[in-house]
Every structure is written in structure tokens, then in C-alpha cells.
Amino acid sequence: MNCETLTAAIQRTIQEQVPITEITPKSKRWWTKELTLLRKQSNKLGRQAYKRKNDPTHTVHAEHMEAAKAYNRALKSTKDQHWRSYL
């Protein structure tokens, strides 16, 4: 009896609170949370580098280049890995 009540309460909560995501034909199934974090970091450093565009010796420029390279490597690697697993 108690188990059924608990299960019903959990199911009701799940239906009300958990968003339902749909995979569309245009969705990027290969995208990962790691790519999201790398992209955010690269974009943040890019904005900082742009603010200091008149000072090319500032360290933020090198940091941005490294972050952008890491993001691009991870992106290419993830896409290649997804393609190989698809085949």
C-alpha cells in the first residue's frame, strides 16, 4: 500500500516537473556538456580579448587562442567519434 502511494507520488512529480525534450532531425546528437563548457570558456575569453584588442601583448590573447584551439579539437574529435560509432 505505502509502496504504491510512493510510486504514484513520484510518477506524478516526474510528469509535472521533468521537461520533455524531443530529438528533432536537426538536433545535434553529438553535442556534449563538455563542448558547451569549452564553448562558453572560449567565448568569454574572446570577449575579453576583444576589449583589449589595442594591447596585443596582454595574456588574454594567448589564453583565448588556447581555449579556441581546445574547443575546436574537442568539437572535431566528438564529431569524428560520433560518425565512427554511427557507421
Note the pLDDT of residue 34: 94
Share of the chain above pLDDT 90, in %: 69
Note the pLDDT of residue 1: 67
Task: Print burial letters for 44-76: b (CB count within 10 Å at least 16), e (below 16).
Answer: ebbeebeeeeeeeeeebbebbeebbeebeebbe
